[in-house]
Amino acid sequence: MFKTLLIATHNQGKVVEFQDMFKGMGIEIKSAADFKLPEPEETEETFTGNALLKARAACKATGLPALADDSGLCVEGLAGAPGIYSARWGETPQGRDFNMAMARVNDELGGIKGDEAAYFIAVLALVYPDGREETFEGKFEGHLTWPMRGDQGHGYDPIFVPQDMTHTAAEMEPSKKNEISHRAKAVEKFITYMKQDA
């Protein structure tokens, strides 16, 4: 079991989520921002490919075991879009604007009516300095809603209603969302693996 794990992201929201999920495991969490690592260009065509690409780059640059995730929103009515381009739909010269990205989802669907099936997917890739690699996948099923509701989450959370719920992911307490989210499910698989590997 390693003592330090590098989370290959500059997204502080994600870092906080991972810190919460790894509480009590005795692992020090570092982020790509701590090492001022450049963000590699995501050139793969799958969530798994992009997660591995980011983890490999961070591991190579620091010599630390690196965990990267690639995640996104897949809307069935948009043939799985925005998918791996979820973050890029929010790119502006001033940084990411997810209000703009959510408005684009609404526009591309011709207006969200509230019954559009969608899911978040997260793939975690763990890369060790010795070259070993593992991946873990989690899914968070639900449907879309409009207008946006809630300010607790990040990304597309304000338009995503989890299965069997009436409120959006952005209206949930972060600790509750972290128990059932796509990332939580992937992390659960990762933690199970870590305990077996200890």
- Cα separations in angstroms, 129 against 30, 58, 104, 123, 124: 16, 10, 40, 20, 16
- Measure the CA–CA gap between 121 and 70, rounded to whole angstroms: 8
Closest CA to 177 of 146, 147, 197, 155: 155
pLDDT at position 167 is 95
Domain that holds residue 173: 4-197
Amino acid 153: pLDDT: 79
Residue whose entry in the numeric block shows the structure tokens 């992009």 = 50
The model's pTM is 0.87
Residue at 166: amino acid letter: T
Report residue 1's pLDDT band, with 50, 70 and 90 as the boundaries.
low
Active site residues: 70
- CATH code, domain with 46: 3.90.950.10
Residue 34 φ then ψ, to 5°: -60, -30
Number of domains composing the chain: 1
> Which pLDDT value is given to residue 198?
59
Q: What is the pLDDT of residues 78-133, one digit of tens each?
A: 999 999 999 999 999 998 899 999 999 999 999 999 999 999 999 999 999 999 99
Cα-flanking dihedrals φ and ψ of residue 158, to 5°? -70, -10
> Could you read off the pLDDT of 127-156 as tens digits, one per residue?
999 999 999 999 999 999 999 999 987 899
